[in-house]
Structure 1
Amino acid sequence: MASDDALADELRSLARTLHETVADDERRVAALDLLREANALLATGERRLRWYEVETDGDGRRARTRELSAFSGTINAVAPPMRIEQGERNGSACLLGHVRLSRLREGPPDGVHGGVMAGLFDELMGAAQSLTGRPGGVTGRLTIRYRDLTPLDTDLVFRCWVERDRGMRVEMRAECVRADTFDNDAPVRTAEAEAIFVRRR
């Protein structure tokens, strides 16, 4: 039985294939016909509700958000997707985002596009507001320091924590580390971020 996750994974694979290979006219025509047929088949289904259109509790809404998100959504074919879990930093809770980025996200040669990095940081920092135990806010400011090239086709760990909760403003910090150095005494950080999220009244 096919799942929405499996469909999204296959679309990601297709996007990589299109990006990495050059097909002849005959193959392009045949592939386009198949894609149009698949699209028409899926379009006959019911409209999927967006995360804020579904009545559910806080945990259910967060799960729904992540499922559809542009950066961590398992059924969003344009998402890498980043896998988010809770972790620990200096004895306090944090969120970890695990991701491996292909050449679809390339900026400089062999490196991840800076805009993609910004989106991933914003995604994780927004989710990490849940650590405060209070409703989250919207991004008011996001500042990124790019310390080094973030390599493609490499396992990465984004780590985010709450720096301060000032009521209407939540101050967050985060870092991106190469996964193979994450537990080292001197982990390789490729980027760091600071953000302020503003809670709406």
Structure 2
Amino acid sequence: MLWLALSLTFACLAIRELLSPWNRDHPQPIHPPYLLLVSAIAIGFAWPPVSTWRFERFLESRARVLTEGRPVSVHCNTLFDTMLDPNALAAGHANLATGEIVLQKPWCSTLRDYLDDPASADQRGIQSLNLFTHEVMHVRGLLDERVTECHAVQYNRRMAELLGVPAPLALDHARRYYRESYAQRAEVGGLSGSYFSPECAPGRALDLRLPHSIWR
């Protein structure tokens, strides 16, 4: 909201400058350098929220492919949003009733950076992909965190491809998450361990046997 308020302020200055020759009391000529400056500042302040809005709609369109017709909406929390979010300690959360997915700051930015350059992805970038896939799995109707995370592990490849990651990288990153980040959950235990299941493995109970499986 702050970005939009600042953008609107400078947009008003630009409009006032355009209307200055028609001011009955004090008509003034238009000053092009000033007009260009305030217009550029207005556009600059408007770009962050517009860019975020476009990214949210992009994520929604790709998520719908995996939610099997269930409604889904995506919101990237600002720092202020996160401070007011009762689930602020969670990197992301989903409302199964409404289909709303919320990603906390800075995870949306991390995911966007990952998608901008997947070839240079680090562990955190790959984790941001899994975070989004995990919340999409919740929207599909899954409640149990162990099951949800295991489904996300297996759908990460498909989600990455839907988001534009080249197929070889999508498979590699999905496998890296499973071998590294997911395996670490069992070692760390605690809250992180509650997302891990030994049945999340080839041929075990939680193997979905997907045609785009990560372990075949």
Query: Normalization by structure 2: what TM-score?
Result: 0.30
Higher helix share: 2
Query: Normalization by structure 1: what TM-score?
Result: 0.32
Higher strand share: 1
Whichever of the two has the greater Rg, that structure is 2
User: RCO (CA 8 Å, sep 6+): is it higher in 1 or 2?
Assistant: 1
